[in-house]
């Protein structure tokens, strides 16, 4: 009878119940803060945008660290390079779109 090998070795531990719970609670808090700020109108203008963007960046960091296990990656760091490439492409698309929209608003 052939022996079936496990997909994951002992070196590839993906996370414990504790780390998933911490990540989940951080995600909930980082979701509820912007909702409360917007729904109650606690901040306006630039401060509102700064808090919302900060919460979004922190949410991204929580997702990458606790759920995508980015910090536990062994070398070579293919996932990190793929993420960075995706972020560069996203930045180019968003910046290009903003530039086009700003140019069209001025031209009208």
Q: Looking at the 3D structure of the chain, how many domains does it have?
A: 2
14 lies in the same domain as 49: yes
> pTM (2 decimals)?
0.66
**Is 82 in the same domain as 56?**
no
- Summarize pLDDT for 53-99 with one digit per residue, the tens: 899 989 988 998 888 877 776 777 777 788 888 889 989 998 988 88
Q: Strands, E, within the chain: which ranges?
A: none
Tens digit of pLDDT for each residue in 14-59? Answer: 778 999 999 999 999 999 999 999 999 999 988 998 999 899 989 9
CA 22 to chain centre: 16
Q: Regarding predicted confidence, which is higher, 105 or 62?
A: 62
Q: Calculate the CA 44 to chain-centre distance.
A: 24
Across 5-36, b (16+ Cβ under 10 Å) vs e yields eeeeeeeeeeeeeeeeeebeebbeebeebbee
State how far the alpha carbon of 88 is from the alpha carbons of 4, 36, 61, 104, in Å: 41, 31, 16, 24
Residue 10 has pLDDT above 60, yes or no: no
State which residues form the domain around 39.
Answer: 1-72
């Amino acid at each position: 009878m052939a022996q079936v090998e496990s997909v994951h070795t002992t070196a590839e531990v993906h996370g414990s119940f504790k780390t998933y719970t911490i990540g989940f609670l951080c995600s909930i808090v980082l979701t509820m803060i912007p909702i409360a700020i917007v729904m109650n109108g606690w901040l306006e203008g630039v401060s509102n945008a700064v808090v919302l963007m900060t919460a979004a960046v922190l949410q991204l960091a929580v997702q990458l660290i606790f759920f995508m296990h980015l910090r536990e990656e062994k070398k070579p760091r293919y996932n990190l390079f793929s993420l960075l490439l995706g972020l560069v492409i996203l930045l180019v698309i968003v910046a290009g779109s903003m530039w086009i929209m700003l140019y069209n608003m001025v031209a009208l």
